[in-house]
């Protein structure tokens, strides 16, 4: 043993290296820790039903957080995803009274793609900072949604059974939304690692000049990225409305900041070039469990928000410290 | 020298870590004197200037101004003690009005106006935002501001570079008149023409030490070049044996790959023409700021030329983006590795980046691994820390920037000072690689700031001075003294043209 001790680096350093190369491990440990705390505080709360519910609520958040992950990899951000999800959900719910659900869903994704395209053109072509660009389009979309609402006052709204099945349904305790989410997540994770487009997101976020030198037209990548982000946000809105079953003008807006937090907790660098979607998924789960935990503790709303903010800051700081090179 | 010494620096030394930027520099300037400060790239001029103006602190040595010890911690303190400098890049805040810029440095307005009109700028509005003025005018304003505080010692760094001829003439005129006062000017320039017209004496730096102070007189250029070169080097590096002799002999007959004709860009690159042939390593030699940066940026598609043409295999090219240049076979390795690499990403991703630029779809991982692996082997990249390029050594990082293009397949490689700041072993490997690429039919254009290494790698050399090609040499005639003279815009010596073999033949 003593021989190993002299040749191998000290245990602390080895843990640091392991964490640096496998940043998912501490996140999963944190997630399990939160679940254990919850079980201790409320014995019996953690059962199949609770797990399925947690996953159901985490999925729309995880899809929205995928938009943040992808855009943050390039050094950007997409603050319009909350309203895009809301617009898609609202348009779908009001159109489904006139059209077939499939057509209503298709129609509802058009504004998502248009807003994404506007974001992409602004950020990629005119070099407006994505923060400002997506903030601007989200304000425009909020106003647009109010105008749209007046034109459909008489139509009423409905949630098609298919979306309700997807959003809330369970088959043998397994949430149906996993049918959509597992392939989607696999596509994003593999797409980031094994497609040229995914690699270019990292490249642009790491060093746009180097990407340019290698022949990358960044603006094309950025435009495609924000269109994709808009599309994913639209999908998230449809899943979420299937879960909440009450379309409103601010349905998914409260999910915006948690979506950023999930990506950051998951280890994606807001400065670009580093991170991935697997961490974001765990981040979304952590936030969902955390919300349950604070609710169970019956902390008053104000104190709950304070705690939520502090925990996000703490986790992010710890994660950055653990994964940075020492 | 019976004149009063305004500035007397002696034994000045400065180390950055283990590197000695200055070992023993001295500089003495008398009242009413215009004194040239000269030295090749890296001789320590800029370090000495920074010490004099308080931007960095020296380790040892003493600096006296009018006989009093000069201890300054900032350019503002240097200014108060009577030493003012004017740099190539005007120290003017672009978003402020001219008047506000003057207020920042507590410049008196009336003398400033006087000097501005003396310098030939007549219709200056002090309320104009600095950003809206042309660069040449800003440099003149910077100089006028310095003159207005009537400094004892005025330090001018490449003051006339990139100034239009009429303004440059006025500037030189004003500087000359400073020499008739009781003040002094330290004049840093690469132009012998200006120095011989203007200066009284010159201090020459080499390898961080003052190696001579000469009076400016007829034929002093030769003496200065000799001082800058130092005693003839005892041939530390043999030209690598030319295993590829057939190619280098072919080159004169080989067809041109890249033809550059009357190329101009920005203010520095004026009119450059040359041919890069198939299977050739062509060197570019120039002092700092002679337009070589603009040349490489233009060739690699980072910048559009303002005049002239670029042709590849006889077809004229227009590059709007580096992607266009890459498509035409021109690939670029910049000197600063930080510009070229994804520091947080793996060696593999860095090398495969050009492929991803071309195709957004799924990556054939096996094929990519194979291509990347070959490039890594060929360059002998140490892959122990390949997870993140920022953990590699500088030499290995530079290899990655080249490996990227080896994996893609190179027609024409543009290397801007590829061996700056890397160890000697890696340097040799990179030189060998460039020669090998050329031997296999690629063409390589390489700018290097290390003159003694030109013969190790190049087949021919073009020398650029003032944005124009001033001479072209075959490698065996391009020894360091010859290149140094040419780089300073001096004519060839009759003897060097004969090309005696200074080095042992291979």
Give the CA dihedral A44, A48, A53, A59, nearest 10 degrees.
Answer: 130
What's the mean pLDDT when you consider all of chain A? 90
- B281/B446 Cα distance (integer angstroms): 7
The two structure tokens encoding residue B353: 């980046």
Q: How many residues does chain B have?
A: 506
With contacts defined as CB-CB under 8 Å, which chain A residues touch B384? Answer: none
Cα of A193 to nearest chain B Cα, Å:
9
Cβ count within 10 A of residue B167 = 18
pLDDT band at A45 (very low <50, low <70, confident <90, very high): confident
Q: What angle, 0 to 180 degrees and rounded to 10, lies between the N-to-C axes of helices A177-194 and A48-73?
A: 30
Query: Is the minimum CB–CB distance between A213 and chain B shorter than 8 Å?
Result: yes
Overall CATH class of domain A27-323 = mainly alpha
Chain A interface, mutation test: which of B324, B328, B348, B357, most A Cβ atoms within 10 Å?
Answer: B357
Q: Tell me the shortest Cα–Cα distance from B262 to chain A, in angstroms.
A: 25
Contact criterion met (CB < 8 Å) for B353 and A217 = no
Q: Confidence band (pLDDT; 50, 70, 90) for A281?
A: very high
| Separation in Å, CA of B276 to nearest CA in chain A | 21
- Tell whether A197 lies on the interface with B, counting CB pairs under 8 A: yes
Whether A200 sits inside 8 A of B360 (CB atoms) is yes
pLDDT at A7 over 60: no
Total Cβ atoms within 10 A of residue A5 = 10
Q: Which helix (H) or strand (E) holds B451?
A: none
**Distances in whole angstroms, Cα of residue A166 to Cα of each of A29, A89, A242, A287:** 29, 14, 7, 22
pLDDT band of residue A63 (cuts 50, 70, 90) is very high
d(C-alpha A312, C-alpha A315), whole Å: 5
Q: Is A274 on the interface with B (CB under 8 A)?
A: yes
Chain B interface, best mutation among A210, A212, A219, A324, by max B CB count within 10 A: A210
**Contact with chain B for residue A214, Cβ under 8 A:** yes
Q: Say what the pLDDT of residue B226 is.
A: 85
pLDDT at B279: 92
Say if the Cβ atoms of B360 and A274 lie within 8 Å: no
Q: Is A326 on the interface with B (CB under 8 A)?
A: no
Q: Which bin fits A173, alpha (ψ -120 to 50), beta or left (φ > 0)?
A: left
How close B385 comes to chain A (CA, Å)?
12
- In this complex, the residue of A197, A269, A273 whose CB is nearest that of residue B345 is A273
CB contacts, 8 Å: B335 with chain A:
none
**CA separation for the pair B476, B458 (Å, rounded):** 9
Hey, what are B130's tokens?
């600095």
- What average pLDDT does range A237-255 have in this prediction? 92
Angle at which helices A11-21 and A24-41 cross, to 10° = 100
Contact call for residues B182 and B478 (beta carbons, < 8 A): no
Q: Which of A23, A72, A214, A270 to mutate to test the interface with B (most CBs of B within 10 A)?
A: A214
- Check if the beta carbon of residue B264 is closer than 8 Å to that of residue B297: no
Check if B321 contacts A (Cβ < 8 Å). Answer: yes
Let me know: does B298 contact B270? Beta carbons within 8 Å: no
| Integer Cα distance of B157 and B90 in angstroms | 11
Nearest to A34 by CA among A295, A325, A320, A218: A295
Residue showing tokens 């991703």:
B349
Which helix or strand (DSSP H or E) is residue B94 part of?
A: none
Which residues lie below 8 Å from residue B263, measured CB to CB, with a gap of 6+?
B269, B271, B272, B273, B295, B298, B305, B307, B308, B309, B310
| Neighboring chain B residues of A228 at a CB cutoff of 8 Å | none
Calculate how close chain A gets to B358, using CA atoms only, in Å: 8
pLDDT at B248: 44
- Ranking A7-16, A19-28, A94-103, B346-355 by mean pLDDT, the lowest is A7-16
Tell me how crowded residue A317 is: count the other CB atoms within 10 A of its CB: 10
Q: Does A299 touch chain B (CB under 8 A)?
A: no
The two tokens of residue A222 are 């950025």
Which pLDDT score, from 0 to 100, does residue B104 have?
86
Contact B362 A194 (CB under 8 A): yes
> Under an 8 A CB cutoff, do A273 and B339 touch?
no
Yes or no, beta carbons of B326 and A214 under 8 Å apart = yes
pLDDT band at A129 (very low <50, low <70, confident <90, very high): very high
- Establish if A206 touches chain B: CB-CB under 8 angstroms: yes
8 Å CB contact of B404 and A214: yes
Is residue B151 within 8 A of residue B84, CB to CB? The reply is yes
Q: What is the pTM of this model?
A: 0.81
- Ordered per-residue pLDDT tens for chain B, 506 residues: 456 788 899 999 988 776 778 889 999 998 889 999 988 777 888 888 888 888 888 888 888 888 888 777 888 888 888 888 888 778 888 899 888 988 888 888 888 988 888 888 888 888 888 888 888 888 888 899 988 888 888 998 888 776 777 888 888 888 888 888 888 999 988 888 888 888 999 999 988 899 989 998 888 888 888 888 877 654 444 444 444 444 444 445 678 999 999 999 988 898 999 999 999 999 999 988 888 999 999 999 999 999 999 999 989 999 999 999 999 999 999 988 888 999 989 999 999 999 998 889 999 999 999 999 999 998 888 877 778 888 888 888 889 999 999 998 888 999 998 887 777 788 888 999 999 999 999 999 999 888 888 888 999 999 999 899 999 999 888 888 888 888 888 888 765 444 444 444 43
Q: Locate B104 and state its tokens.
A: 């920042």
B303–chain A Cβ distance below 8 A for any pair: no
| Facing A196 at nearest CB: one of B300, B326, B360 | B360
Domains of chain B: 5-229 (3.40.50.300), 235-329+411-506 (3.40.50.300), 341-409 (no CATH)
For residue B20, the SS3 value is: strand
Q: How far does the CA of residue B342 sit from the closest CA of chain A (Å)?
A: 5
Q: Do residues B314 and B278 touch, judged by C-beta distance below 8 A? A: no
* CA pair distance B178, B172, nearest whole angstrom: 10
CB nearest to A207's CB, from B321, B342, B355? B342
B385 touches chain A (CB under 8 A): no
Taking the alpha carbons of B382, B383, B384, B386 in that order, is the dihedral positive or negative? positive
- b/e code B458-494 from CB counts within 10 Å (16+ = b): bbbbbbbbbbbbbbebebebbbbbbbbbbbbbbeeee
Cβ of B361 under 8 Å from any chain A Cβ? yes
Phi/psi class of residue B409: alpha, beta or left (left: φ > 0; alpha: ψ in -120 to 50)? left
Q: What per-residue confidence (pLDDT) applies to B499? A: 43
Q: Do B357 and A211 touch (CB under 8 A)?
A: yes
Nearest CA among B463, B464, B449, B454 for reference residue B434: B454
CB–CB of A196 and B326 under 8 A? no
Handedness of CA A117, A121, A123, A124 (dihedral sign): positive
Domain ranges of chain A: 27-323
Task: Spell out the residues 6+ positions from residue B198 whose beta carbon is closer than 8 angstroms to its own.
Answer: B34, B36, B172, B175, B176, B179, B187
Exposure class string for B413-452: b at 16+ Cβ within 10 A, else e:
bbbbbbbbebeeebbbbbbebbbebbbeebbbbbbbbebb
- What are the φ and ψ backbone dihedral angles of B157, each rounded to 5 degrees? -105, 110
**Partner-chain residue, chosen from A196, A199, A210, that has the shortest CB–CB distance to B341:** A210
pLDDT value of position B177: 86
Say how far apart CA A91 and CA A107 lie, in whole Å: 8
- A181-229: pLDDT as tens digits: 999 999 999 999 999 999 999 999 999 999 999 999 999 999 999 999 9
How buried is residue A235: exposed, middle or buried, by Cβ count under 10 Å (0-12/13-18/19+)?
buried
Alpha helices in chain A (DSSP H): 2-7, 11-21, 24-41, 48-73, 81-95, 101-120, 130-151, 161-168, 177-194, 196-206, 208-213, 218-244, 256-265, 277-296, 301-323
Chain B nearest-CA distance from A175, in A, is: 30
């Amino acid at each position: 043993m003593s021989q190993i001790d002299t040749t191998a680096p000290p245990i602390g350093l080895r843990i640091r290296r392991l964490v640096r190369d496998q940043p998912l491990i501490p996140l999963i440990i944190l997630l399990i820790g939160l679940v254990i705390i919850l079980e201790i505080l409320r014995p019996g709360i953690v059962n199949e039903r609770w797990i399925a519910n947690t996953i159901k609520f985490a999925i729309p958040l995880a899809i929205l957080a995928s938009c943040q992950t992808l855009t943050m990899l390039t050094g950007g951000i997409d603050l319009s995803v909350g309203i895009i999800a809301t617009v898609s959900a609202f348009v779908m719910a009001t159109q489904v009274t006139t059209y077939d659900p499939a057509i209503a869903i298709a129609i509802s994704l058009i504004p998502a793609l248009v807003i994404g395209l506007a974001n992409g053109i602004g950020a990629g072509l005119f070099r407006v900072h994505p923060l400002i660009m997506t903030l601007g389009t989200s304000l425009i979309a909020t106003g647009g949604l109010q105008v749209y609402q007046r034109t459909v006052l008489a139509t009423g709204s409905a949630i098609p059974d298919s979306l309700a099945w997807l959003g809330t349904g369970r088959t043998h305790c397994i949430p149906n939304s996993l049918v959509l989410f597992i392939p989607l997540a696999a596509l994003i994770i593999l797409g980031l690692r094994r497609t040229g487009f995914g690699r270019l997101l990292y490249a642009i976020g790491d060093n746009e000049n180097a990407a340019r030198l290698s022949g990358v037209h960044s603006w094309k990548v950025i435009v495609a990225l924000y269109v994709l982000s808009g599309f994913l946000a639209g999908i998230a809105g449809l899943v979420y409305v299937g879960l909440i079953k009450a379309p409103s003008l601010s349905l998914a807006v409260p999910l915006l900041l948690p979506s950023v937090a999930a990506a950051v907790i998951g280890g994606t660098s807001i400065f670009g070039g580093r991170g991935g979607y697997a961490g974001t998924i765990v981040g979304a789960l952590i936030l969902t469990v955390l919300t349950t935990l604070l609710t169970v503790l019956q902390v008053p709303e104000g104190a709950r928000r304070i705690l939520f903010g502090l925990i996000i800051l703490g986790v992010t700081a710890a994660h950055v410290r653990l994964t940075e090179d020492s | 020298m019976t004149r009063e010494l305004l500035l007397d620096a002696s034994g000045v030394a400065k180390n950055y870590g283990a590197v000695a930027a200055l070992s023993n520099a001295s500089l003495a300037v008398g009242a009413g004197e215009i004194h040239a400060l000269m030295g090749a790239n890296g001789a320590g001029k800029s370090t000495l200037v920074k010490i004099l103006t308080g931007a960095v602190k020296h380790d040892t040595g003493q600096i006296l101004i009018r006989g009093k010890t000069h201890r300054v911690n900032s350019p503002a303190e240097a200014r108060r003690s009577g030493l003012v400098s004017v740099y190539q890049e005007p120290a003017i805040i672009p978003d402020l009005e001219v008047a506000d810029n003057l207020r920042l440095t507590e410049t008196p307005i009336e003398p400033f106006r006087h000097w501005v009109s003396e310098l030939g700028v007549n219709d200056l509005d002090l309320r104009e935002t600095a950003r809206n003025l042309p660069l040449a005018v800003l440099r003149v304003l910077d100089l006028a501001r310095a003159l207005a505080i009537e400094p004892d010692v005025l330090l001018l760094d490449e003051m006339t570079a990139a100034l239009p001829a009429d303004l440059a003439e006025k500037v030189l005129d004003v500087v000359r008149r400073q020499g008739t006062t009781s003040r002094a000017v330290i004049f840093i320039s690469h132009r012998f023409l200006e120095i011989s017209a203007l200066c009284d004496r010159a201090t020459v730096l080499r390898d961080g030490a003052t190696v001579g102070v000469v009076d400016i007189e007829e034929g002093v250029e030769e003496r200065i070049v000799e001082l800058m070169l130092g005693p003839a080097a005892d041939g530390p590096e043999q030209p690598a044996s030319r295993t590829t002799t057939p190619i280098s002999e072919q080159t004169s007959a080989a067809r041109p790959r890249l033809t550059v004709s009357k190329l101009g860009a920005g203010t520095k690159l004026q009119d450059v023409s040359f041919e890069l042939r198939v299977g050739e390593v062509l060197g570019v030699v120039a002092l700092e700021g002679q337009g070589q940066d603009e040349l490489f940026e233009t060739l690699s598609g980072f910048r559009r030329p303002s005049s002239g043409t670029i042709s590849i295999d006889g077809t004229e090219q227009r590059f709007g983006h580096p992607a266009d240049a890459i498509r035409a076979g021109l690939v670029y390795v910049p000197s600063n590795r930080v510009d070229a690499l994804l520091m947080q990403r793996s060696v593999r991703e860095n090398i495969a980046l050009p492929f991803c630029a071309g195709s957004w779809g799924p990556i054939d991982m096996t094929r990519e691994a194979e291509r990347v692996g070959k490039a890594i082997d060929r360059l002998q990249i140490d892959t122990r820390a390949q997870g993140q390029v920022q953990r590699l050594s500088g030499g290995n990082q530079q290899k990655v920037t080249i490996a990227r293009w080896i994996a893609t397949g190179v027609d024409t490689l543009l290397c801007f000072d590829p061996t700056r700041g890397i160890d000697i072993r890696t340097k040799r490997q990179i030189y060998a690689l460039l020669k090998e690429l050329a031997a296999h039919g690629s063409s390589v254009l390489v700018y290097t700031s290390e003159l003694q290494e030109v013969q190790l790698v190049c087949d021919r050399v073009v020398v650029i001075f003032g944005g124009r090609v001033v001479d072209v040499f075959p490698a065996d005639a391009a020894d360091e003294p010859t290149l140094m003279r040419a780089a300073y815009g001096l004519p060839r010596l009759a003897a060097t043209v004969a090309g005696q073999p200074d080095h042992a033949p291979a």
